[in-house]
Each structure stands twice: as structure tokens, then as C-alpha cells.
Amino acid sequence: MTYAKIERFDYIIKQLEIEGKIIVANIAEALKVAPETIRRDFDELEQQRLLTRVHGGAVKYTNVRTEPAFLRKLQMNKEAKCHIARVAASRICQGDTIVVDTGTTTVHIADFLLAVDDITVVTNSIAAAVQFNLAIEERRMTGKVIVLGGMTNPAQSSLVGAMTLEALSNMNFDKAFLSCGGICDGIVYDYDLDESLLSKKMLARSKKSYLLVDSSKLNNQSFYQISSLEDCTEIFCDGACPIEWQAYEEAWTICDGGKIK
């Protein structure tokens, strides 16, 4: 028997009510579908705030104001984040000096670089630095990677603090590639104060700024304000610009798999 999506959703919610925690493999077996289908269902239900993803499964929805751990976040909406990062990577040109903040979307930018030369990459993201270094090793780009000093933030795989801010104050960039925790009423927010201050500084020190945001973050207000959407040269998202944000439509680029709209 093949279950329609709405039937799968009903079953998932009912099992969650009964068990409190459900496992991808068990649900997939019960509904006779691939685990990847259930993971996508979980992603949709999480966006609807009907459950919260955890490693290997899901629990009842919890409305937390703290950001999920970095490795867990890395797997959330990964396909959309990769589509967004691929388009963002196409904006990097030969000779650019770029700055990349900490995020589970910006971390993928290096994966999509190909035949780009003489790039200087500055970042406070340990994870992004590793990926850009790999791009150099694999000869998909040439240039150098500068990792900003500071205190480690294990939850974000990053470096933060006064030392990091001070280093940025003495640098100028052609382009900034920034992530965020949410956008609400045209304002860009993040969860972490230290990371927000760094993103704000990166934007201020750059000629152009690019915001990478997956659609799950639209109309979400988190802790600290980074900037207005008006400050962004271009906004990359897997979803369309909300109708109430038409003032920003010109800067909005929809990233949908192999298509750029």
C-alpha cells in the first residue's frame, strides 16, 4: 500500500503523540517508504512546528530560542542550503577578497568553487576554513585562507570575541557572505550575540554583501539584530520573496536546484 503525504503526516503525528520520540527507520518501515522520504516529511513538519528533529528521528515540537548544535544544523534543510551556496559561489570572481561568516549555508560555498583564481578568503568559521582549504588542495581555486583569531565557540565551530572583532576592524573586503538565524519585517537576526556582532562588522567592511537564507528562516525573529535587508546587495533563498516584502524583491534571487530565478 502506498501512503499519500497527508496520510504519512497524520501517522507521524499520531505516533509522536503516543511515543514522544520517533525514529526515521521505524516510521519508514511502518509506512513502507524510503528513509529519505521520512526525513523530508520530518523537515516539512518541523517547519510547520509540529515536531522537532533530533539525531535519527524526531520529538514533540519545542519552541526553543537557542540555536541547534552546529553538526545537527548542518543536516537541516541541507539540499536547500546547497542550492543557495552554489548560486552564492557564482558571485565570487578572480582576485576577490571575501569574508565568510559562520553558518551552515555559507560553509557550503567552497564546495561549488571551480576555476577561480587569486582569491583571499577571510573567515571566523573553522568549518568553512577547512572547506576553502580543501578547494585549494583540489585546485578548484587558488589563493589563501585567513582564519581570524579569537576564542573558540564549539557550538558554532567558530572563533569569536574582541580579538576577532579587532582584526576585522583593520580589513576591507570586496564581498561578504553572511548567514542569519531569521528574517522578520525586513530585519535580519541571529541567535548568538558574538556571531551577530561579527556579521555586522563584516557587512560594514565590505563593498557588497550577500545574505544566504533558507526559507525556514523567513518570518522568524531571533535574539539579535544584524542589519536591514536594505543593507544586502543580494539575498539568496530557496523560496520566493514574501509578498509583504516586495520592497526587497529586486535583490531577491530564488535558488532552486539547477535553476536560478
Q: Are residues 153 and 250 in the same domain?
A: yes
Task: State whether residue 90 is helix, strand or coil.
Answer: coil
Residues 12-38 have a mean pLDDT of 91
25 and 95 both lie in a single domain = no
What confidence score (pLDDT) does residue 71 get? 65
Q: What DSSP line would sit under 1-62, residue for residue?
A: -PPPHHHHHHHHHHHHHHHSEEEHHHHHHHHTS-HHHHHHHHHHHHHTTSEEEETTEEEE--
**Cα gap 190→26, rounded to integer Å:** 35
Same domain membership, residue 30 and residue 79? no
CATH number where 50 lies: 1.10.10.10
Q: How confident is the model at residue 259 (pLDDT cuts 50, 70, 90)?
A: very low
Are 126 and 42 found together in one domain?
no
pLDDT mean over 93-107: 96
CATH number of the domain within which 244 lies: 3.40.50.1360
CB 194 within 8 A of CB 161: yes
> In this structure, are 137 and 233 located in the same domain?
yes
Q: Which of 20, 44, 63 is the last residue of a domain?
A: 63
Query: Does a structural domain hold residue 68?
Result: no
Nearest Cα neighbor of 217 from 243, 198, 189 is: 189
Residues 118 and 239 in one domain: yes
Residue that finishes a domain, picked among 39, 63, 87? 63
- pLDDT tens digits for range 45-64: 988 889 888 777 888 886 65
93 shares a domain with 54: no
DSSP assignment of 106-163: GGGGGGG--SEEEEEEEESBHHHHHHHHHHHHTTSEEEEEEEPPSEEETTTTEEESHH
How far apart CA 69 and CA 38 sit, in angstroms, is 22
- Same-domain check for residues 48 and 80: no
User: Which range marks the domain in which residue 50 is found?
Assistant: 5-63
User: 160 and 101: one domain?
Assistant: yes
Do 165 and 194 lie in a common domain? yes
Strands in 187-190's sheet, in edge-to-edge order, are 182-184, 187-190, 224-228
The residue among 37, 63, 89 that closes a domain is 63
Write the secondary structure of 56-78 as one string of H (helix), E (strand) and C (coil): CEEEECCCCCCCCCHHHHHHCCH
- The pTM score is 0.73
The verdict on residue 17 lying in a domain is yes
Contact 239, 218 (CB under 8 A): yes
The number of distinct structural domains making up the chain is 2
- Is residue 69 in a domain? no
216 DSSP assignment: G
pLDDT band at 258 (very low <50, low <70, confident <90, very high): very low
Give the model confidence (pLDDT) of 214-240 as tens digits.
988 898 888 889 999 999 999 999 999
